[in-house]
A and B are shown apart, each in its own frame.
Chain A
Amino acid sequence: MFENTKDTIRTIRTAGKLGWAMESNWTDPFLFAIYSVVRPIASSLILVVMYYVITRGKTSLDLFAFIYVGNAFFMYVVNVLFGISWVIHDDREHYQMIRYIYIAPMKMYYYLFGRGIAKMVLTTLAVIITIAFGMLALKIPINLMTINYPLLIFSVLVGIFIITCLGILLAGISMVTAHHSYALTEGIAGLFYLACGAIYPIDILPVWLQYISKLLPLTYWLELVRRAILGKSISTTLGGYSDFQLILIMLGTTLVLAMFSNYIYRSIEHIARKHGKIDQLTNY
């Protein structure tokens, strides 16, 4: 058991270093830093502009804060999900090392998680920068003294776990569907953007879509993150639950997702090994 833990940590750490080497593969570290700061701010500015255009300047600060925070944290979904789900494809087609990674005596989950760590760290930085920019430049009402930090940190960690499970699921699928895996990841991320209340409360979704929203752990994750940072939520559907109830629901749906993703990954891996697809180049 103890040996296993050591192996796991070593795998994650080594894969993490590889992921970091790739993320920071900029000839100029200064450019890399600028890019990491400027990109999130630029994307939140786009959101701000869209918001003002749609509301024609009639801003409700509560709604704007809701959207802004949700959108900032949704960066985790986009970056980490793409980061992890793309590893198998990249290792197979681009680096052509998948067969040597695959036959190594390590659990692929840990390898994939490790490869995603660099993205998680960089995204955390980007989220902090985006939130700070929102507070300073856009006067979003966030009080650093009243943020529920334990709830925030706990939620972010669970959120990363959720996104890792989703990433592993998609990584599994990319073992057999080389051509469409990019579109698939994009589609899934888009679906979450709509269904999990990233930009508006799920109350405004059609009822059937709300059912889907309530099955997705990311919905509860975003709600908890907002409560931790803004101290309140404007969603009437989720507003009735206490923090504690939401945490339980989030953990429950996460557990189901983890089992589902593990099952799908294993099944697809078996299919890929059966059909000789583990290391088969698709050449496109």
Chain B
Amino acid sequence: MNYAVETFDLNRSFKLKKAKNKKENNNTPGKLIALDNASIKIHQGELFGLLGPNGAGKTTLIKILSTLLLPSSGTALVDGVDVVKQPDQVRKRINMVSGGEHCGYGILNVRETLWMFSQFYGIPTQVAQARIDVLLKILKMEEFAKTKIGKLSTGLRQKLNFMRGFVCGPKIMFLDEPTLGLDVQIARDVRAYIRTWMKENPERTVLLTTHYMAEADELCDRVAIIDKGKVMVCDTPGNLKKTLAGEAVFRIEVPLAANGMETFGQISGVKQFAYEHKSHLGRTELKFILHDESAISNVTEFLSNNSSKIVSLSKMEPSLEDVFVALVGRGLKDENGSQN
């Protein structure tokens, strides 16, 4: 079996600038470890998801694989080719789309942009034009074919950037949060296209990063969960969720709470605990992963002892998100609250 992507103990660190805020007295310029001995193997033909919160190192990995960034140490092979030693050979095989991006050569129109990039990849004009027609159709952009990029809305530009990646006919595609910030319908079109593209040719491979658990669950053959630069686990979404089969997942909503959260994890029978403040709803959502369903009584008892009202309580099917919580002991979203 050929691997589309293989990394061995990949490390990447960034020098940290001195803290801007003098009060923090953090004057030792340190190192930030963005990738920490990351080893993954992606099979040819796989739709592989890289899942992790903001700052986990997903973009860093994509940048290394797409030859934009050198690793600090370790090896990365794309289609068997070393990204450090033979970047030119890697570039012929890949493309990359980074979501949430809406720039471009404003003076060109949609078709001109797509054609131009296909030319940089040596795609014969007829093949390129046919491909552009299909892309315009599937992504519902036909009416904008002749519209200048400068006049497109940000969502449409992001869609164009997505098409740009595919028009170049890569064998291996890196998609960095392809649906970031897209409205629901466009995101659906994008996901549908990814699936169609994969089905067309069994040799194609996609590495997709996301912090939307549902997206990874829905799309990916296998996912790796990554946190603080470390690859925690790597398996099919189904198998990952099965690791929680013995456990029970409960969601409890309480009125917006500020303190005392730390103690919740110590309630007996609780395996992992995470929370998310939903200040716009005036609530805090607590998530408990219990070793056993019966432990829920300990939790409710603890809450009432702390005179915390319970707004709602529900038992849930384990999701990928719960797998993440069980692994790292916090939710995907409670990193800094800036998630969208």
Contact = CB atoms under 8 A, between A and B. Distances in A.
Interface of A: 7, 10-11, 13-14, 17-18, 21-22, 25, 95-97, 99-106, 111, 270, 273-274, 276, 278-279
11 contacts: A14-B119, A18-B108, A21-B107, A21-B112, A95-B103, A95-B104, A95-B105, A96-B103, A99-B98, A270-B70, A278-B68
Interface of B: 14, 63, 66-70, 88, 91-92, 94-96, 98, 101, 103-108, 112, 116-117, 119-122, 164, 168
Given A18-B105, A95-B104, A97-B105, 6 more contacts: A17-B116, A96-B103, A97-B103, A102-B67, A103-B67, A103-B95
A103 B96 contact: yes
Contact of B96 (A14, A25, A99): A99
Contacts of A7: 122
Contact of B107 (A10, A22, A102): A22
Contacts of B116: 14, 17-18
B120 A105 contact: yes
Nearest to A6: B122
A-B complex: 3 closest residue pairs judged by Cβ atoms: A96-B103, A14-B119, A105-B91
Nearest to B60: A276
A274 B98 CA distance: 20
B121 to A, nearest CB: 6
Given A10-B122, A14-B116, A105-B91, A276 B14 contact: yes
A103 B119 contact: no
Nearest to A99: B68
A106 B120 contact: yes
A270 B70 CA distance: 9
Given A105-B91, A273-B70, A276-B63, A21 B105 contact: yes
A17 B113 CA distance: 11
A102 B120 contact: no
Contact of B69 (A11, A17, A97, A278): A278
A21 B111 CA distance: 14
Given A276-B69, A278-B69, A104 B120 contact: yes
Contact of B117 (A25, A100, A279): A100
A100 B164 contact: yes
A97 B96 CA distance: 12
A252 B15 CA distance: 43
A167 to B, nearest CB: 20
B115 to A, nearest CB: 9
A100 B113 CA distance: 12
B66 A103 contact: yes
A219 B281 CA distance: 73
A278 B119 CA distance: 22
A11 B91 CA distance: 15
Contacts of B164: 100
A61 to B, nearest CB: 45
B328 to A, nearest CB: 26
B88 A100 contact: no
Given A18-B108, A97-B105, A105 B88 contact: yes
A22 to B, nearest CB: 6
Contacts of A13: 119
A102 B68 contact: yes
Contacts of A101: 120
Residue of A11, A102, A105 most packed against chain B (CB within 10 A): A105
A18 B112 CA distance: 9
A100 B107 CA distance: 17
Contacts of B121: 104-105
A101 B95 CA distance: 11
Nearest to A106: B120
A278 B91 CA distance: 15
B68 A103 contact: yes
B70 A100 contact: no
A276 B104 CA distance: 21
A178 to B, nearest CB: 16
A95 to B, nearest CB: 5
A96 B103 CA distance: 6
B91 A103 contact: yes
A104 B108 CA distance: 19
B272 to A, nearest CB: 34
Given A21-B107, A104-B91, A274 B70 contact: yes
Residue of B14, B119, B164 most packed against chain A (CB within 10 A): B119
Residue of B68, B70, B117, B119 most packed against chain A (CB within 10 A): B68
A88 to B, nearest CB: 14
Contacts of A106: 120
B120 A11 contact: yes
Given A102-B68, A273-B68, A274-B70, A10 B108 contact: no
A100 B105 CA distance: 12
A22 B96 CA distance: 25
B176 to A, nearest CB: 10
Contacts of A111: 120
Given A96-B101, A97-B103, A278-B68, A103 B14 contact: no
Contacts of B117: 100, 104
Residue of B14, B88, B103, B168 most packed against chain A (CB within 10 A): B103
B63 to A, nearest CB: 7
Contact of A105 (B14, B92, B98, B108): B92
Contacts of A95: 103-106
Contacts of B112: 21
Nearest to B88: A105
Contacts of B70: 270, 273-274
B8 to A, nearest CB: 19
A274 B72 CA distance: 8
